[in-house]
Structure 1
Amino acid sequence: MYNGYTGKILNVDMTNSRRWVEKLNENWVRNYIGGEGFGAIYLAKNLHSNIDPLSEENKLLFICGPLTGTKAPCSGRTVVMFKSPLTGTICAVNAGGTWAPQLRRSGYDMLVIHGRAKTPTFLSVSDENILFHSAEKIWGKDTLITEESIRKEINALLTEIASIGIAGEKLVRFAAIMMGNDHAAERGGGGTVMGSKNLKAIAVYGPAAQTPLHNADRFGIAVKKAIQELYDEPFVREEMMKFGTPSFFDAMNGPGKGQVVDQGRLLNLIYTAKGWDEQGIPTKGKLEEQGLTQIASKMFN
């Protein structure tokens, strides 16, 4: 298998609490590269066109790209694919954060969820340790409480978690999958598909080192060049790095139509909601609330 890939697809059958690993087809690597390419060919071969998106026959895919787990900019995104309960067509969405790098470091290029659990369940994945846990106590909770509860239960503070809230549980057809507090695979109802499978969350932690590279030195040079080129763009430096996706609101609103949002006010609202100060730094109280007392002491004492 080529560098940058693990060569393995993890399959999880929620109906029978079963998991198995299959080899990644090397032709897919050459012809479809990764991410949406892998998802498209997999669903084309394994999903019947006339299925109900909320049936247990639907597949839910979480997919890495060839740069996932490296230092390349923007390479931490997770691609999620499924048949959409909102549109009835194949849907591909992606979310930021570091969930996909943890999946790659656990040894997998793609995770495929099959079937439907009999009761609310969450999964934990770490290398070959794939476990099914009861989610009865967190069913009906929002994603913030869900993440905190799961980290305490499995005793893994560094794990990354993809989860759904109440909308996904109730099968609202545009429910999102949240990856951490800040990142959402939001379009098409991926959270709805998770809810239909009685799957509350997937916790992933990969203890392995970074993705192996063919030529680490040349790759490092290319990464530095790409980062500098991004930073040299005023839009990236002055808007994207501060506001993220809302930076595109002005462009989507069309030329000459004025601003959609007051970005300064939006930033203040985001900081306040997160429990950060006006500089975007977590407050001592927020850190202590998250169980990070030692870090809070070092930062503020």
Structure 2
Amino acid sequence: MDINALVDFALVATNGGLGKASRASGRSKATLSRRIADLEDQLGVRLIERSARGLKLTEAGELLMARTEGPMNEVAEAMTAAREGLSIPRGHLRVASPVLFAQLAMGRIGAEFCAAYPEITLEVVAEDRVVDLVEEQYDVAIRVNPSPDSGLVGRCFAKDRMVVVAAPSIPAPPPGAVRQVPAIVFSTFQPTHWNLDEGRLVLEPVPRLRFSSFLTIRDAAIAGGGAALIPQSIAWNPLARGELVQWGMVSGVDASLWVLHTSRRLAAPKVRAFVEFICCHYPDASLVLTG
């Protein structure tokens, strides 16, 4: 298949017509039309319907565009990188991050990253929903315990543990039978047990306060609102200051943070640079957050 014909097809489809594609590329409408006709002959299907109103992609044309748009962009980026020496990360990098990680870590990481790569501008969007990298035009996503996705690749750069903590004024229940405890829980909490230290202590949390933020839950625990299950990374400082006491570590709910992107083979230099930078920021994979 003639790669130039495929490029010209994508150009016409993206611009919505031969005239606009011609003006955008500097190639004649006749050349573009001939290339598309050649591509249709090779595939044996119509890709574009021509009418007095203009051009419209056929079902086959839409399918071809959907399947080739990403790879064609990768090829274009790779060719640009090759012309520029391949090793210079540049351009706008858009990153999706969980709210907690963005609030407590991404400001510092972002500033250091841009200092290391002055030709990159960084945009970090903090939200806890799972974004579609392609549809929403993100280059990178940071996710906690991501589900397998054949369209994404990446690396685990840090891990966290979940601990049950409470203010020193609240006595820790003794080991034995399941113990009910007043608890501060997440808004989406469902009835469950907290199995601490592989069964040494089993707690039945009785919700008294519900919040949608781990930081708010932590602060309510410091204020004596009840026991709380929070990431160890945000509990370390209050534990060190004596504001909280750790009752135990919950088994089987570790949190792994991954940095993910869409390209398997031709990741842009800016994406490769960010992945390597954030992994090097946590060399021992230990997640230490402050705040």
Tell me the TM-score range normalised by the shorter chain: under 0.3
Larger RCO: Structure 1 or Structure 2 (Cα < 8 Å, ≥ 6 residues apart)?
2
- Could you tell me the TM-score, scaled by structure 2's length? 0.21
Higher strand residue share: 2
Structure number with larger C-alpha Rg: 2
- Could you tell me the TM-score, scaled by structure 1's length? 0.20
